[in-house]
């Protein structure tokens, strides 16, 4: 059974349709990335899922129950939402902002304090920020608190609307890695909006490209990147950026050739490369060094096998 479904949904603003006959089903445990140009309806889809907006027509169900039958407080406890504009409450401290939903369900003060400390650490900030007010935080820090707040009640569905847009590159990468861990370890269902193609390919198990409220392309990551037939619209949107980003997500050690027949006397003739690097970096190194084959090593410089451009074919 899908965890979220849209059936023939229509949503208008002032009689102008943004979504029409919109259908989408999301299974438990998927990491779905929504991509599309500004104004195509991404935020509208997220707001419909947690009941902030109501459809004009059609049915949206969460956990197999139509939204009209849900108690919205119960629903939002199970859905974390990182909104596009962060939206921290200015009169509440950071701790109270993080614990907003826990307070609604009357969690104890000790539990809230403990959870706030865990979460602020999780988003890479110091506990001392808990006593501050949102105005005393930078935009990127506020955005991280927005992420912490969405995770506070340990929801099984997490909606994230461009959550890392204002965060610096290094923090962004570490937050992306943390989201991957949350997804893989805890089996959460995540719906994530971004304009960043690299971020989409790194995170998503499934990518959905929208065009004016319609789905243009919807596949699991590998098929999304490698299925040749695509609309002019998708071609224009991605060019080769999705493919390059995909090559960047696969590590060299995933396509090791261990049985290459190379005499050990010649081993030193091959340039070496760390197996944790991506195959895109492997290809780059082949080109830089003008070698078809690289010797792959681990962090301790132990040889693991060989990498060659041929060895990536079976992954594609």
Q: Which stretch binds ligand ATP (CB under 6 A): 11-19, 137-145, 286-294, 300-308?
A: 11-19
**Please, what is the minimum distance in Å from the beta carbon of residue 237 to Mg ion?**
16
Residue 93 interacts with Mg ion (CB under 5 A)?
Answer: no
Residue 18: name its binding partner from ligand ATP, Mg ion, none (Cβ under 5 to 8 Å by kind): ligand ATP
Nearer to ligand ATP by C-beta: 40 or 197?
Answer: 40
Sequence-ordered alpha helix ranges (H) in the chain: 42-49, 72-78, 94-98, 100-104, 109-122, 139-151, 169-186, 197-203, 221-226, 232-238, 241-249, 279-289
Q: Residues 280, 309: contact at Cβ < 8 Å? A: no
d(CA 299, CA 273): 10
Q: 21: Cβ–Cβ under 8 A, 6 or more apart, which residues? A: 8, 9, 10, 58
Residue 15 interacts with ligand ATP (CB under 6 A)?
Answer: no
Nearer to ligand ATP by C-beta: 39 or 139?
Answer: 39
Residue 211: name its binding partner from Mg ion, ligand ATP, none (Cβ under 5 to 8 Å by kind): none
**Please, what is the minimum distance in Å from the beta carbon of residue 12 to ligand ATP?**
9
Residue 293 interacts with Mg ion (CB under 5 A)?
Answer: no
Q: Residues 177, 112: contact at Cβ < 8 Å? A: no
Residue 44: name its binding partner from Mg ion, ligand ATP, none (Cβ under 5 to 8 Å by kind): ligand ATP
Q: Which of 8, 23, 25, 39 binds ligand ATP (CB under 6 A)?
A: 39
From residue 189, how far is each of 28, 32, 54, 173, 240 by CA, in Å? 6, 8, 22, 20, 28
Q: Which stretch binds ligand ATP (CB under 6 A): 38-46, 222-230, 254-262, 281-289?
A: 38-46
From residue 166, how far is each of 142, 161, 287 by CA, in Å? 9, 12, 35
Q: Which stretch binds ligand ATP (CB under 6 A): 33-41, 219-227, 258-266, 305-313?
A: 33-41
Nearer to ligand ATP by C-beta: 11 or 221?
Answer: 11
Which parts of 56-115 interact with ligand ATP (CB under 6 A)? 84
From residue 106, how far is each of 97, 102, 103, 222 by CA, in Å? 14, 6, 5, 43
Residue 43 interacts with Mg ion (CB under 5 A)?
Answer: yes
d(CA 292, CA 312): 12
Q: 297: Cβ–Cβ under 8 A, 6 or more apart, which residues? A: 272, 273, 274, 275, 303, 304
Residue 43 interacts with ligand ATP (CB under 6 A)?
Answer: yes
d(CA 58, CA 55): 7
Residue 55 interacts with ligand ATP (CB under 6 A)?
Answer: no
Q: Which stretch binds Mg ion (CB under 5 A): 56-64, 77-85, 117-125, 277-285?
A: 77-85
Chain residues binding Mg ion by CB under 5 A are: 42-43, 84
Chain residues binding ligand ATP by CB under 6 A are: 13-14, 18, 36, 38-44, 84
């Amino acid at each position: 059974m899908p965890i979220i479904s849209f059936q023939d949904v229509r949503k208008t603003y002032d009689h102008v349709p943004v979504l029409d006959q919109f259908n989408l089903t999301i299974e438990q445990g998927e990491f779905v990335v929504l991509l599309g140009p500004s104004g195509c309806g991404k935020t509208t889809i997220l707001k419909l899922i947690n009941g902030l907006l109501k459809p004009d027509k059609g049915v949206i169900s969460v956990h197999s129950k139509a939204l009209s039958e849900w108690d919205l407080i119960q629903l939002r406890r199970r859905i974390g939402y990182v909104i596009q504009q962060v939206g921290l409450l200015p009169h509440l401290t950071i701790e109270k902002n993080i614990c907003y939903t826990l307070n609604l369900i009357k969690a104890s003060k000790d539990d809230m304090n403990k959870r706030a400390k865990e979460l602020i650490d999780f988003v890479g900030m110091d506990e001392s920020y808990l006593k501050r007010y949102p105005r005393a935080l930078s935009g990127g820090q506020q955005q991280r608190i927005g992420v912490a707040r969405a995770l506070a009640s340990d929801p099984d569905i997490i909606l994230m609307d461009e959550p890392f847009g204002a965060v610096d590159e290094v923090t962004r990468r570490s937050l992306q890695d943390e989201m991957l861990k949350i997804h893989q370890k805890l089996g959460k269902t995540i719906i994530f909006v971004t304009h960043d193609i690299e971020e989409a390919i790194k995170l998503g198990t499934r990518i959905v490209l929208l065009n004016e409220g319609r789905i243009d392309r919807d596949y699991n990551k590998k098929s999304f990147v490698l299925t040749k037939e695509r609309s002019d619209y998708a071609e224009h949107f991605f060019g080769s950026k999705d493919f390059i980003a995909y090559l960047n997500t696969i590590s060299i050690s995933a396509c090791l050739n261990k049985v290459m027949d190379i005499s050990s006397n010649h081993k030193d003739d091959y340039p070496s490369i760390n197996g944790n690097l991506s195959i895109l970096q492997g290809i780059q190194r082949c080109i830089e060094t003008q070698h078809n084959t690289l010797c792959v090593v681990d962090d301790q410089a132990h040889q693991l096998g060989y990498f060659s451009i041929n060895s990536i074919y079976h992954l594609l």
